[in-house]
């Protein structure tokens, strides 16, 4: 088939950003979520995302966006060439969705879990054909950041790796394939660093702005760790830190009180209008 159809399951921040990336590169998408309101918001966000990507030159010239369909049932994902699961980082939720996808798709269809840190081999136990499962870790916004971490589990088949690398090349991404471990490479390094940055602020060593400004100006970080936390979503960050802490025992991965407090107050970052920084409607 000339134009592969990509199914994306979960229409949160990541599912929406990946959908933007894929349709922006001319491949049709079926985006599945259980919540109609979430899908409505995702459609609007994808329209904005496509403009954002166009503006920054992140889409191929002369390539009109492909069709985006939204659906409430996993059944609509079944005919896809590849399925990308992008639900929240809760093992129970991922388990339910991955098992459902695996039972619906044709054998030979890559099942891609977009995760920031749950080991692929744990998830491989939940699917019918573990060889077809592979991990990706897209950054937010997926349509602007061209590098993707790809995680090959011990049971991932060669053919699955090849077809996913082919798909990523087709949507203009550069991939680095790493082995399976809690947090892989990027989250294993970044998440404890953000957690520490929050501790530094709690301790009164420096303000939020000064922490980010130092990390930008001295260490070349593009936005600073706390702005990155706002972009990730502090709730997602806490989930990912907990998943890391449970699997590594590293105390630097135990979510700091300041992060937990922000989640309790609904200050989740850019998407909720407030996290470490305050965002106007136009900035979300």
**Which residues contact other proteins by CB under 8 A?**
48, 51-52, 54-58, 141, 144, 222-223, 231, 282-283
* 67 annotated as ligand-binding: no
* 94 annotated as ligand-binding: yes
Smallest separation, CB 166 to other proteins (Å): 27
For residues 54 and 247, which CB has a smaller minimum distance to other proteins in the complex?
A: 54
- Residue 6 phi, psi (nearest 5): -110, 130
* 162 annotated as ligand-binding: no
In the beta sheet, which residues pair with residue 269?
274
Smallest separation, CB 98 to other proteins (Å): 31
* 140 annotated as ligand-binding: yes
* 12 annotated as ligand-binding: yes
For residues 118 and 148, which CB has a smaller minimum distance to other proteins in the complex?
A: 148
For residues 204 and 222, which CB has a smaller minimum distance to other proteins in the complex?
A: 222
Smallest separation, CB 69 to other proteins (Å): 24
Query: Would you call the peptide bond into 141 cis, given omega within 30 degrees of 0 as the criterion?
Result: yes
Smallest separation, CB 49 to other proteins (Å): 9
For residues 56 and 202, which CB has a smaller minimum distance to other proteins in the complex?
A: 56
* 147 annotated as ligand-binding: no
* 26 annotated as ligand-binding: no
For residues 117 and 224, which CB has a smaller minimum distance to other proteins in the complex?
A: 224
Smallest separation, CB 238 to other proteins (Å): 22
Q: Which residues are annotated as a binding site?
A: 10-15, 33, 89, 94, 116, 140, 271
Binding-site sequence positions for NAD(+): 10-15, 33, 89, 94, 116, 140, 271
């Amino acid at each position: 088939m000339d134009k592969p159809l990509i199914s994306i399951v979960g229409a949160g921040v990541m599912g929406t950003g990946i959908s933007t990336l894929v349709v922006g590169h001319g491949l049709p998408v079926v985006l599945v979520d259980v919540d109609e309101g979430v899908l409505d918001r995702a459609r609007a966000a994808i329209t904005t995302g496509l403009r954002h990507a166009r503006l920054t030159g992140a889409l191929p010239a002369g390539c009109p966006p492909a069709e985006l369909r939204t659906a409430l049932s996993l059944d609509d994902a079944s005919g896809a060439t590849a399925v990308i699961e992008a639900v929240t980082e809760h093992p129970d939720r991922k388990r339910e969705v991955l098992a459902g996808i695996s039972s619906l798709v044709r054998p030979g269809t890559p099942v891609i879990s977009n995760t920031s840190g749950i080991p692929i081999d744990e998830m491989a136990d939940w699917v019918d054909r573990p060889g077809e499962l592979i991990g990706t870790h897209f950054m937010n916004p997926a349509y602007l950041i061209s590098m993707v971490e790809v995680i090959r589990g011990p049971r991932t088949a060669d053919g699955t790796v090849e077809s996913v690398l082919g798909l990523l090349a087709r949507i203009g991404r550069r991939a680095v394939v790493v082995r399976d471990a809690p947090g892989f490479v990027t989250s294993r390094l970044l998440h404890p660093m953000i957690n520490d940055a929050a501790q530094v602020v709690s301790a009164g060593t420096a303000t939020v702005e000064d922490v980010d400004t130092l990390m930008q100006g001295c260490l070349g970080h593009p936005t600073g760790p706390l702005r990155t936390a706002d972009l990730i979503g502090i709730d997602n960050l806490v989930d990912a830190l907990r998943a890391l802490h449970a699997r590594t025992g590293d105390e630097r991965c135990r979510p700091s009180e300041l992060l937990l407090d922000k989640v309790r107050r609904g200050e989740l970052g850019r998407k909720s209008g407030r996290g470490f920084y305050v965002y106007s409607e136009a900035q979300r």
